[in-house]
Amino acid sequence: MFHVKQKDNMSKQDLLKHLRNIPDYPMTGVQFKDVTSWFMNPKDLREITDELYEFYKDKGITKVCGVESRGFIVGTALAYKLNAGFVPIRKPGKLPYEKVSVEYKKEYGTDRIEMHRDSITEDDVVLIHDDLLATGGTLRASYDIVKMFNPKKIYVNCIIELTNFHSKEKFPADAQVDSFIEMDEFDGID
């Protein structure tokens, strides 16, 4: 994990005050962390993007893979700042060219993600970005699909990691999985 630094009077506490919590979404008992409240606030969006850039700027990243759909938002801005290409990891039926895919288990069934077959080469250093790591199914599947391309290195990043799920344990020991903010699913609930 890396920590939010004080910059332009922003802090982790300020960001967390702006994070919207949606109880019982998408199902009863889930406390959904809605990061779109950060994306609507230019100061929050800039803070998150700048901090991620500072953390990854010296890692030689050539491609940023954004996980559908909230991973596209900061992922594209980060790719721009890192002077890297952007690769979308999509749900089935969204990509027009030849694809590779991975099926994975979710807490309520199975799902599938896809990438274009020519997205990544063995010379690439890849950063996979998503908004949230909770149960870990989608982000782990994203790691698996990128690994199929055999790039030089893979970094995995999310803005928020819900630590009560222990999802980093689902990744191989050599996978570097970092989060901007670590919190419990029920943090900030009154």
pLDDT, position 188: 58
122-159 pLDDT per residue, tens: 999 999 999 999 989 999 999 999 999 999 999 999 99
The encoded tokens of residue 24 equal: 């019982």
State the burial class of residue 179 (Cβ atoms within 10 Å of its Cβ: 0-12, 13-18, 19+).
buried
Question: What is the maximal distance between C-alpha atoms in the chain?
Answer: 48
Q: Is residue 49 part of a domain?
A: no
What's the total number of domains in the chain? Answer: 1
Active site residues: 70, 107
Q: Is residue 53 part of a domain?
A: no
Distance CA 12, CA 21 (A): 16
Q: Is residue 5 part of a domain?
A: no
The encoded tokens of residue 148 equal: 């199929």
List the CATH number of the domain containing 112. 3.40.50.2020
Q: Is residue 150 part of a domain?
A: yes
Main-chain dihedrals φ then ψ at residue 93, nearest 5 degrees: 85, 5
Q: What is the H or E stretch that residue 183 is in?
A: strand 176-183
Residues spanned by the domain of 167: 60-183
Q: Is residue 42 part of a domain?
A: no
36-57 pLDDT per residue, tens: 999 999 999 999 999 999 999 9
The alpha carbon of 99 is separated from its chain's Cα centroid by a whole number of angstroms, namely 21
> Are the CB atoms for 121 and 108 separated by under 8 Å?
no
Range in 2-6, 35-39, 97-101, 130-134 with the lowest mean pLDDT: 2-6
For residue 17, give the 3-state DSSP assignment.
helix
Distance CA 115, CA 181 (A): 27
